[in-house]
Chains A and B, each alone.
Chain A
Amino acid sequence: MFVVVGMSNASRIMGPQAPGGVKKATYESGIFPETPVGYFSVRFYRVAMLFMIFDVAIMAIYPWATSLSAMRARGFYDGLVFFGILAVAFVYVWRKGGFQWH
């Protein structure tokens, strides 16, 4: 415990200290943070949400595919109904311009 506390404080005590400049700015993956932020663009969230929704929906297809042999034709057609509902949602989002950035 002494070693841990000592090591973690050693750099703070012994290291060179030069505050100021860009050091105090928020780190944002190499992008210069724009200040002040008046509003957040909703575009990113929309795309992320649509990706999530269809991604999760596609996830449901994996167990369906692996257990097709057990479920026979009935299970196959039930899965197609699911695809159909998904396709309607896809067409709706597409025609509404949900996939366009601007």
Chain B
Amino acid sequence: MQYLLPEILVAGSALLGLLAMVVVPKVRGLASWVVLVGFLAAGVDAATMWNVTPSLIVYNSMAIDKYGITVTELVLLAGISTILLAWNAEHFGEEFPVLVALSVLGMMGLGGATSLMPVFLGIELLSLPLYILAASRHTPEGGEAALKYLLLGAFSSGILLFGMALLYGATSTLIFVAYPGIASHAQVWLLWPGLGLVVVGIAFKLAIVPFHMWVPDVYEGSPTPVTNLMAFGTKVGAAIILLRILAFGFYGQAGAWGLLLGYLAVLTMIVGNLLALPQTNLKRLLGYSGIGHAGFLLVGIATHNIQGAQAMMFYLLPYGLAAIGVFAVIRLLEQGQDGDRGVILSDLQGMAYQRPWLATVLIVGMLSFAGIPLTGGFVGKFFLMQAALFANRPGFAVGIVVGTLVGLAAYLRPLQAMFQRDGVSERVRTMRWSAAGVMVVAVAVVGTIGIGVYPAPLVHIVSQSANFYWLKGG
């Protein structure tokens, strides 16, 4: 039971935040403090469990291992950055931090899940607060985003649940880590459709290409802190659980799903980055970039070797750090005049000269997305290519290169707009710094460059956390 303390701390902070809101309504922002302290305490507590012997708890449906602890720390980082970006933003509603805490709780549950039951609970707990959060800005675009997200989310949950039902019918157990042992006498004709539907259901959440249509509208319509949580936290949760299900439950059938997911990954990388090219709205651009990065993550799953698992785990952090940096820049720009209008490329005009520090953050974030050396994104893409070559799949590596090249053009367009000399846009002139925003961008920039220059500590962590001993090394 003490192993679930991080989850209990986050859940408790959500409940306490809810109580604080109604018991002492005069103290503004108390719920944000409660949830922030809960996140930090959960992060510290999860870190102290690092050397615990891996074990299964709660009737074999949750695992305590380094994989889950790494996921917990990643999603807590996403949650903390979201709370900080929405600091003092009372127009999002008082319940904002509580809903963020519940969503993060769902992601944490996904990290340790070894049974289909916590997988479904985690995905629902992750999604339901996000549907509400997407509409928390009370604009028509926010409503549209929330409705689209709700309808497609419910649809994908249905697919996922049907797949789980078929898997249960095939194997008569929900504990997917036990599937390799009973695969020989499972109902194969139910197993394959079940696996396919579960992968499709998770691919909706991860925004893999045939299932990516909802992403740009939802990212654009949602408030920026919420988009930050969707882009970082949701992606971590979905990618992590897809890897855990496939690598723990179905490693015997890897020859079949590996190649198929590889094709999807190449398609996702190229289509996502291509569609990012013509975007003028910065959040839409990040939405398509998120699709492209989902493709990069999928390469790590599809290669199905130990380098792939480690490379995917590695890639999550630089991607997330770059995302929170860029979203923080958008948020700071929105705090100027005309706050509800989306930030478009022409709003960046003259930023490099008028606001050099803010411009630096955007440059670092965009270059990390593009995979330029000395940023974390480069090291992450390097490891992914290494994994693809170790798996003897040069086609995946070619896909990464093509996707990166297309992405480079997309990510340089905001920088080009930023360096234009003729005039400074109203947005850049009226933007205001906030202490919470500065904290987020500082962590993002230092982390991105730190990982790019000295990746060894993170490599050590992911090599321990994604140490699936039955996978073949290179």
Q: How far is the CA of A95 from the CA of B95 in the complex (A)?
A: 14
Q: Which of A27-82 contact B (CB under 8 A)?
A: none
Q: Does B271 interact with chain A (Cβ within 8 Å)?
A: no
Q: Which of B17-25, B44-52, B351-359 contacts A (4 or more CB under 8 A)?
A: B17-25
Q: Using C-beta atoms within 8 Å of the partner chain, give the interface range for chain A.
A: under 10
In terms of DSSP, what is the predominant structure of the interface of chain A?
Answer: helix
Interface membership of B15, Cβ < 8 A: yes
How many Å lie between the Cα of A71 and that of B440 in the bound state?
47
- Which residues of chain B are near A92, meaning CB under 8 Å? 18-19, 21-22
Point out the residues of chain A lying under 8 angstroms from B15, CB to CB: 85, 88
- Residues of B1-53 at the interface with A, using a CB-CB cut-off of 8 Å, are 15, 18-19, 21-23, 25
Interface of B is mostly: helix
Question: B452 → chain A, closest Cβ, in Å?
Answer: 44
Closest Cβ of chain A: how far from B169's Cβ, in Å? 25
CA distance A91 to B18 in the complex (A): 9
A96 within 8 A of B: yes
Q: How far is the CA of A92 from the CA of B22 in the complex (A)?
A: 6
Task: Report the interface size class on chain B.
Answer: under 10
Contact with B along A83-102 (1 / 0, CB 8 A): 00100110110011000000
Q: CA–CA, A88 to B19, complex, Å?
A: 7
Give every chain B residue within 8 A of A89 (Cβ-Cβ).
18
Chain A residues within 8 Å of B22, by CB = 91-92, 95-96
Nearest CB of B to A55, in Å: 19
Nearest A-chain residue to B25, judged by Cβ: A95
Q: How far is the CA of A95 from the CA of B18 in the complex (A)?
A: 11
**Contact partners of A88 in chain B: CB under 8 A:** 15, 18-19
Q: Min CB distance, A102 to chain B, in Å?
A: 19
A71 to chain B, nearest CB (A): 14
- Least CB distance, A54 to chain B, in whole angstroms: 16
Residues of A within 8 A of B21 (CB): 92
Q: Which residue of B lies closest to A88 (CB)?
A: B15
Closest to B8 in A: A81
CB contacts (< 8 Å) of B23 on chain A: these are: 91, 95
Interchain nearest-CB distance for B25 vs A (Å): 8
Roughly how many angstroms separate A9 CA and B446 CA in the complex, as a whole number? Answer: 82
Q: What is the bound-complex CA distance between A22 and B22, given in angstroms?
A: 50
CA distance A85 to B23 in the complex (A): 16
In the bound complex, residues from chain B placing their C-beta under 8 Å from that of A85 are 15
Report B-chain residues with C-beta under 8 Å of the C-beta of A96.
22
Residues of A within 8 A of B18 (CB): 88-89, 92
CB distance from B472 to the nearest CB of A (A): 43
Give the docked Cα–Cα distance between A96 and B25 (Å): 10
Contacts of B19 in A (CB 8 A): 88, 91-92
Shortest CB–CB separation between residue A30 and chain B, in angstroms? 35
CB closest residue in chain A, given B15 = A88
CA distance A78 to B18 in the complex (A): 21
Instruction: Give A24 Cβ to nearest chain B Cβ, in Å.
Output: 35
Min C-beta distance of B446 to chain A, whole Å: 38
How far is the CB of B292 from the nearest CB of chain A, in Å? 39
Q: Given the complex of chains A and B, what is the CA–CA distance between A66 and B459 in angstroms?
A: 52
Q: Please give the distance in Å from A36's CB to the nearest CB on chain B.
A: 23
CB neighbours of B25 from chain A (8 A): 95
B436 smallest CB distance to A (angstroms): 26
A88 to B22, CA, bound (A): 10
CB distance from A64 to the nearest CB of B (A): 17
CA distance A88 to B25 in the complex (A): 15
Least distance between A68 CB and chain B CB atoms (Å): 20
In the bound complex, how far is the Cα of B95 from the Cα of A96, in angstroms?
A: 11
CA distance A95 to B24 in the complex (A): 11
Which chain B residues numbered 107 to 131 have a C-beta less than 8 Å away from chain A?
none
Which B residues are in CB contact (< 8 Å) with A91?
19, 22-23
A92→B15 CA distance, assembly (Å): 10
* Residue on B nearest A93 in the bound complex, by CB: B22
In B347-389, which residues have CB < 8 Å from any A CB? none
Q: List 16 A-B contacts (CB under 8 A).
A: A85-B15, A88-B15, A88-B18, A88-B19, A89-B18, A91-B19, A91-B22, A91-B23, A92-B18, A92-B19, A92-B21, A92-B22, A95-B22, A95-B23, A95-B25, A96-B22
Chain B residues within CB distance 8 Å of chain A: 15, 18-19, 21-23, 25
With A85-B15, A92-B21 given, can you name 14 additional A-B contacts, CB distance below 8 Å? Answer: A88-B15, A88-B18, A88-B19, A89-B18, A91-B19, A91-B22, A91-B23, A92-B18, A92-B19, A92-B22, A95-B22, A95-B23, A95-B25, A96-B22
